[in-house]
Amino acid sequence: MTMLQRLRADHAPALLAFERENRAYFAAFVPDRGDVYFTGFDARHAELLAEQAAGEHHFHILADTSGAVLGRVNLVDVADGSAELGYRIAERASGQGLATSAVREACGLARSRYGLRSLRAVTTVDNPASRAVLARAGFVVGGGITLGGRPGLRYARDLDDEDADI
């Protein structure tokens, strides 16, 4: 069983372990965070919590019953009733439907708890798993984009419809 939880200060050790364990796996799909991310993790975590408290972003972890982080789902750059969705799932948990369920849950939270009306997302063309998650969660392709020198796609999701948490 997993649970989507709003990011807290006490998540830092498990979140850092998750990021370290999956660094190479994630780098195959998205630009690597770089060594500075890991060496300055505690300070960056505190900054993110302050930004979340200010309403700029809404960060979440997907944890199992032991508290281990299996993923994260973030709503960033909140403005004018919209935010950008980003997510990542641990390699050992991929292919189990966790990303789809977590993204759907985040869509529901975006509407009901955070008062958002729309979400945006991007992924690379060569990431069919991410494209499938976005499609299953009700996002539609809105055009092309270049991400880290790779062709990508922009997606959008209207949360004002009745099925925002499909």
Q: What is the pLDDT of residue 162?
A: 54
Residue with tokens 């993790």: 41
What separation in angstroms does the CA of 142 have from each of 49, 102, 137, 139, 159?
Answer: 31, 22, 15, 9, 16
Per-residue pLDDT tens listing for the chain (166 residues): 889 999 999 999 999 999 999 999 988 877 778 888 899 999 999 999 999 999 999 999 999 999 999 999 999 999 999 999 999 999 999 999 999 999 999 999 999 999 999 999 999 998 999 999 999 999 999 999 998 888 999 999 999 875 544 5
Helical packing angle, 128-136 and 98-112, nearest 10°: 40
Q: What is the pLDDT of residue 164?
A: 47
Domains of the chain: 2-158 (3.40.630.30)
Q: Which of 106, 11, 102, 14 has the alpha carbon at shortest distance from 62? A: 102
* Residue 148 DSSP code: T
Q: What is the pLDDT of residue 33?
A: 87
* Angle at alpha carbon of residue 67, lines to 164 and 28, rounded to 5°: 70
